[in-house]
Amino acid sequence: MNGDRQNDSLTESREELWQALGEFDETRAIAVVRRALGTAEFKQTHDIDVSTAEQMRAAGERVLLELIAPAQERVGLAWAADDITVAQEHAVTAISERCVAAVADATAPALFGPFTGRVLVACVDGEWHAMPALLVSEVLRMRGWRVDYLGAQVPTEYLVAHVQRTRAQAVLLSSSIPTLLPGAHNAIASCQSVGVPVLAGGAAFGPQGCYARLMRAEWAPDARGAATLLGMGPGEPGEDAARLPDMDLPHLGDQEYSMIRRSKLQLVKQTLTDVEEGFPEMRRYTASQMERTVEDIDFIVSYLATAVYVDDPGLFTRFITWTADILSARGVPPRCLHPALDSLLGQLKDFPRAVGILAAARA
Ligand code: B12
C-alpha cells in the first residue's frame, strides 16, 4: 500500500469505527480494526520475515494512534457537548479497550525478541484514565520493549516497590487530570530518588509538558515521542535526585497551597452559601442538581489549589473556560461561576498568589 492509500483507508475506517461505537457494537468495531490492520494480508504464523513483521508493527501503531485514539477523543467531545451520557461513554471506552486488545493479538506474531529493554507504565494515584497509558504501553511493546503496564491509579509506594522489583530502566507516568499533579510530583521524585528516570505524559502535564519539566521529569507529547526518547536512552536522575518534591517549587514556601488544601471543606461550604445568594435560581435546584453543584465547587477549589501548587494562572483559567463550556452545553448559564469566583476571592484575600489566579480567571 502507498502512503495515500493508507490514509484514505483510515479515514473510512474512522467513520466506520465511530458508527460501530455509536451503536455499542463490539463485534463490528473489532472487525473494523482488523480490516484497518490489513491482517488478511499478513500470514498469521510465527514464521514471518522481518519486513512483514515491520509492516505489521507499523500498521498496529497506526491503528492504535490514528484510529482508536481519535475515536476516544471524539467520545470526550461528545460527552462535553452533552450528546452522550456517562454510561454511553463507559460503554464505548470498554469497546475501545477490546479494540486495543485485538491489535495486540493480531500483531503478536511480529514481536519476536530480544527486548530493547524493560519499562514500567502506570497512571498516577487517583487517575482513572488508563486508556492513554495502555496506548503508550502497546506502542512501546510493538517497538520491542518489555512493558510492565500497571493501569489506573497506582499508589506511589507500590509503584516504587514494583520498579525496584522489576529493575525497570524507566517509569512512564500518565495523567489526564491536572488536580492530580501534586501526587504525580511525589511519584516522580520518589522514583527518581531510587535512581530511576521518569518520563511523564498526558494532558495533566500541561501545554508542551510544562508541569513535567517543573517537576524535573522528562516529557513526550505522545506514544511515538515516548518511544523516540526511550530509544535515545532515558537520562539518569542526577546526584541531587533524592529530594522532597517541595524543593522543586520554591514558591510553596508561602504556604498558600497547604493552607488552601487544609481549609478546602470550609472553602467549598462557604462558596456554596455565597453562590446560593448570588444566584437565586439555585434555590429551585433538585437534589441531583445540587449534588452536581457541590461537585463543581469542589472541583473549582481543587483546580485553584493545583494552580497555586504549580504557580500558573493559566491552569485555572483553562479549567474555568472548560467548565463554562460544559455548563453551557447542559443549559446552565456560565455566569453562575462569577459568584463562586467572587466568594473565593473574598475568602482568600490574604493569599496574593491565589487572588492573582482567581482574578485572571474572573477577567
Ligand atoms: C474515557 C474517559 C474517561 C473514563 C476513563 C476510562 C479509561 N479506562 O481510560 C472515565 C469514565 C473513568 C473518566 C473519568 C473522568 N473524566 Co474522563 N475522559 C475520557 C475520555 C473520553 C477518553 C480518554 C482516552 O481514552 N483518551 C485517549 C488518549 C489518546 O488520550 P491522550 O491523553 O491524548 O493520550 C495520548 C497523549 O496524551 C500521550 N500520553 C498519555 N499518557 C502518557 C504517558 C506518557 C509517559 C507519555 C510519554 C505520553 C502519554 O500519549 C497518548 C497516546 O499518544 C477523555 C477525552 C480525551 N480527549 O481524552 C475524557 C476526559 C479526559 N475526562 C475528563 C473528565 C472531566 C473526567 C472526570 C473528572 C469526570 C467526572 N466529573 O467524574 C473523571 C475523572 C476521573 C479520574 N479521577 O481520573 C475531561 C478532562 C478535562 C479537564 N479539564 O481536566 C476529558 C478531557 C473529557 C472532556 N472532553 O472534557 N473519563
Q: 173 has which bridge partners?
A: 122, 200
For 56-112, what is each residue's pLDDT tens digit? Answer: 899 999 999 999 999 999 999 999 999 999 999 999 999 999 999 999 999 988 887
C-alpha cell at 165: 522489583
The strand pair at 218-219 and 198-201 is best described as parallel
Pick from 19, 37, 40, 42: nearest CA to 29: 19
| Centre of ligand 1 from the C-alpha of residue 273, in Å | 32
Pick from 275, 266, 317, 318: nearest CA to 296: 275
Say how far apart CA 85 and CA 78 lie, in whole Å. 9
| Centre of ligand 1 from the C-alpha of residue 175, in Å | 8
For 17-31, what is each residue's pLDDT tens digit? Answer: 999 999 999 999 999
Please tell me the predicted confidence (pLDDT) of residue 36.
Answer: 93
- CATH architecture of the domain formed by 113-248: 3-Layer(aba) Sandwich (3.40)
Which ligand 1 atom is at minimum distance from the Cα of 129? 9
Which ligand 1 atom is at minimum distance from the Cα of 92? 1
User: What CATH topology corresponds to 253-362?
Assistant: Globin-like (1.10.490)
| Number of Cβ atoms within 10 Å of the Cβ of 208 | 10
| Centre of ligand 1 from the C-alpha of residue 128, in Å | 8
Per-residue pLDDT averaged across 259-278, rounded? 93
For 152-193, what is each residue's pLDDT tens digit? Answer: 999 999 999 999 999 999 999 999 999 999 999 999 999 999
Q: 130 has which bridge partners?
A: none
Kindly indicate the confidence band of residue 47, based on its pLDDT and cuts at 50, 70 and 90: low
Cα–Cα distances in angstroms (integers) from residue 31 to residues 88, 255, 332, in the given order:
20, 55, 40
Cα–Cα distances in angstroms (integers) from residue 288 to residues 102, 197, 282, 285, 325, in the given order:
39, 45, 12, 8, 20
Cα–Cα distances in angstroms (integers) from residue 19 to residues 28, 33, 38, 347, in the given order:
9, 13, 20, 49
In this structure, what are the phi and psi dihedrals at residue 217, rounded to the nearest 5 degrees? Answer: -105, 155
Domain ranges of the chain: 1-112, 113-248, 253-362
Which ligand 1 atom is at minimum distance from the Cα of 77? 89
Q: From atom 87 of ligand 1, which residue's Cα is the shortest distance away? A: 76
Please tell me the predicted confidence (pLDDT) of residue 130.
Answer: 97
Say how far apart CA 295 and CA 11 lie, in whole Å. 38
Say how far apart CA 148 and CA 163 lie, in whole Å. 9
Residue 40 in this model has a pLDDT that exceeds 50: no
| Centre of ligand 1 from the C-alpha of residue 84, in Å | 16
Please tell me the predicted confidence (pLDDT) of residue 8.
Answer: 58
What is the assigned CATH class of domain 1-112? mainly alpha
Which ligand 1 atom is at minimum distance from the Cα of 86? 11
Lining residues, ligand 1, CB within 6 Å: 65, 69, 72-73, 75-77, 79-80, 89-90, 93, 126-133, 135-136, 172-174, 176-178, 199-203, 220, 222-223, 226, 319, 322
Which ligand 1 atom is at minimum distance from the Cα of 127? 78
Per-residue pLDDT averaged across 198-227, rounded? 97
For 117-151, what is each residue's pLDDT tens digit? Answer: 999 999 999 999 999 999 999 999 999 999 999 99
